[in-house]
């Protein structure tokens, strides 16, 4: 039998590993515990709203080259956002725009943000600056999903350096106009199927040894020459490998409101001085993102914030609240040093996932690049690429 690559977990890391191996001619078997691929990046039909919604609004930047190349290789749809992002201060109604050529902070602050900061937090390094409220704090929440008092200034500096190095193309934002599943996940699955990959939903890995994968009652033998990529969250890796990673996580809350009247919002609107952080409109759904969200979330309170912005009546419309309690790692200085590499004590078994050691915070980019790395290691093929 031809050696196979078993990929466990069909989030973006697992999909990337599977696709990288599949397009290189390897027989891939992809296993997923749920009935759907995409993991933390997925769409579903909400019965209450009777609309297809995403678990959370996702954006990708031009610096996320692994995601863009993966997307291109499968025919995904990533549509460019307006070149600058609009912001609104809910306290005083002030509006401003942030783009590669109009950053609302001076070079002194940018240089301070770019410096190496060791274990310091974003609040310790930038909390006293003029631009903290209107730029550094929203940037920190959006990029690191961690409150500035805890977020690592070193990781934020890394992202900022990558942005400045890449220039305007790196700042360019992209969204998924028809939704995460239709625009990103389904095109990858279609290519995998077309290229002979076997996809097994409702397969929850419960144990692994050198020669066997156990999915509850179902056993899959790992034959000689087969390799395995575990594209699973850290708490599942802890349970099957007794690895003890136990990394702290942060919540992201998304609220989707069925709009009572037509509203046009061409790109995401950043909100400052409110519980809501980002407002998106797609069709007749307005979606609010709250990063590093403190619970509970009161939908009426959030609608009360955004209804005037959208010029909508104050009566609370039908809505759905989605709280992803383990949306990303908490990007503080301590947990970052604990993000492991892709190898495991089991020969031929590798890890993938956004939470592994990476120059990037937990994002689609770190997930996809970790999947590519794991496929390269598993197949011993440094040349695997998406383009």
Ligand X SMILES: Cc1cc2nc3c(=O)[nH]c(=O)nc-3n(C[C@H](O)[C@H](O)[C@H](O)COP(=O)(O)OP(=O)(O)OC[C@H]3O[C@@H](n4cnc5c(N)ncnc54)[C@H](O)[C@@H]3O)c2cc1C
Positions in the binding site for ligand X (CB under 6 A): 8-14, 31-34, 39-41, 55-56, 58-60, 204-205, 231-233, 236, 252, 254, 324, 327-328, 353-354, 362-365, 367
Query: Based on CB atoms, which residue is closest to ligand X, 11 or 179?
Result: 11
Query: Based on CB atoms, which residue is closest to ligand X, 39 or 348?
Result: 39
Query: Based on CB atoms, which residue is closest to ligand X, 4 or 109?
Result: 4
Shortest Cβ distance from residue 319 to ligand X (Å)? Answer: 16
Query: Based on CB atoms, which residue is closest to ligand X, 40 or 282?
Result: 40
Query: Based on CB atoms, which residue is closest to ligand X, 179 or 233?
Result: 233
Q: How far apart are CA 103 and CA 311, in angstroms?
A: 28
Shortest Cβ distance from residue 362 to ligand X (Å)? Answer: 5
Shortest Cβ distance from residue 111 to ligand X (Å)? Answer: 27
Q: Hunting for tokens 């769409």 — which residue is that?
A: 43
Structure tokens at 302: 């959030």
Shortest Cβ distance from residue 55 to ligand X (Å)? Answer: 6
23 closest CA partner among 74, 59, 93, 69: 74
Shortest Cβ distance from residue 171 to ligand X (Å)? Answer: 14
Confirm if 64 and 363 have CB atoms less than 8 A apart.
yes
Query: Based on CB atoms, which residue is closest to ligand X, 309 or 374?
Result: 374
Tell me the HSE value of 42 on the side-chain side, using a 13 A CA sphere. 18
Shortest Cβ distance from residue 253 to ligand X (Å)? Answer: 8
Shortest Cβ distance from residue 61 to ligand X (Å)? Answer: 8
Edge to edge, what strands does the sheet with 95-98 contain?
Answer: 95-98, 85-89, 269-272, 278-282, 285-291, 249-258, 319-329
Query: Based on CB atoms, which residue is closest to ligand X, 18 or 109?
Result: 18
Q: How far apart are CA 96 and CA 78, in angstroms?
A: 25
Distances (CA, A) of 252 to 50, 66, 207, 325: 23, 23, 30, 7
Q: How far apart are CA 312 and CA 316, in angstroms?
A: 10
Q: Long-range contacts made by residues 367-370, C-beta under 8 angstroms, separation at least 24? A: 367/11, 367/12, 367/13, 367/16, 367/41, 368/12, 368/13, 368/16, 368/66, 368/67, 368/70, 369/16, 369/66, 370/13, 370/16, 370/231, 370/342
Query: Based on CB atoms, which residue is closest to ligand X, 37 or 122?
Result: 37
Shortest Cβ distance from residue 34 to ligand X (Å)? Answer: 5
Distances (CA, A) of 52 to 179, 282, 316: 8, 11, 20
Edge to edge, what strands does the sheet with 27-31 contain?
Answer: 198-200, 27-31, 4-8, 227-230, 349-351
Confirm if 329 and 250 have CB atoms less than 8 A apart.
yes
Query: Based on CB atoms, which residue is closest to ligand X, 290 or 379?
Result: 290
- Beta bridge partner(s), residue 61: 173
Shortest Cβ distance from residue 56 to ligand X (Å)? Answer: 2
Query: Based on CB atoms, which residue is closest to ligand X, 64 or 125?
Result: 64
Shortest Cβ distance from residue 13 to ligand X (Å)? Answer: 3
Q: How far apart are CA 346 and CA 340, in angstroms?
A: 15
């Amino acid at each position: 039998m031809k050696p196979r690559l078993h990929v466990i977990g069909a989030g973006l890391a697992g999909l990337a590993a599977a696709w990288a191996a599949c397009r290189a001619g390897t027989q891939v078997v992809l296993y997923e515990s749920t009935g759907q691929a995409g993991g933390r990046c997925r769409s579903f039909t909400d019965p209450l709203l009777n609309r297809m919604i995403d678990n959370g609004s996702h954006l990708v930047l031009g610096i996320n080259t692994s995601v863009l190349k993966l997307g291109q290789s499968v025919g995904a749809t990533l549509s460019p956002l307006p070149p600058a992002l609009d912001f609104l201060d809910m306290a005083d109604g002030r509006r401003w725009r942030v783009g590669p050529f109009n950053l609302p902070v001076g070079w002194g602050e940018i240089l301070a943000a770019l410096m190496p900061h060791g274990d310091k937090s974003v609040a310790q390094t930038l909390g006293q600056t003029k631009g903290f409220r209107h730029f550094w704090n929203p940037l920190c929440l959006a990029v690191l999903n961690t409150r500035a008092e805890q977020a690592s200034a070193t990781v934020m500096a890394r992202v900022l350096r990558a942005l400045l190095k890449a220039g305007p193309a790196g700042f360019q934002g992209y969204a998924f106009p028809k939704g995460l599943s239709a625009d990103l996940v389904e095109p990858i699955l279609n290519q995998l199927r077309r290229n002979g990959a076997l996809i097994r939903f409702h397969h929850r890995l419960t144990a692994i040894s050198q020669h066997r994968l156990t999915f509850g009652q179902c056993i899959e033998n790992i034959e000689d020459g087969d390799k395995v990529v575990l594209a699973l969250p850290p708490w599942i890796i802890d349970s099957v490998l007794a690895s003890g990673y136990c990394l702290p996580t942060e919540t992201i809350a998304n609220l989707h409101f069925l709009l009572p009247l037509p509203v046009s919002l061409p790109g995401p609107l950043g909100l400052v001085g409110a519980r809501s952080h980002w407002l998106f409109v797609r069709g007749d759904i307005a979606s609010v993102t709250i990063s590093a969200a403190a619970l509970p979330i009161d939908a009426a309170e959030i609608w009360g914030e955004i209804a005037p912005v959208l010029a909508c009546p104050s009566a609370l419309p039908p809505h759905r609240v989605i709280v992803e309690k383990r949306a990303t790692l908490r990007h503080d200085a301590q947990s970052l040093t604990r993000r492991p590499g892709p190898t495991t004590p089991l020969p031929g078994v590798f890890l993938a996932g956004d939470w592994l050691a990476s120059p990037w915070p937990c994002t689609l980019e770190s997930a996809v690049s970790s999947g590519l790395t794991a496929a390269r290691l598993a197949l011993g093929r440094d040349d695997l690429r998406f383009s």
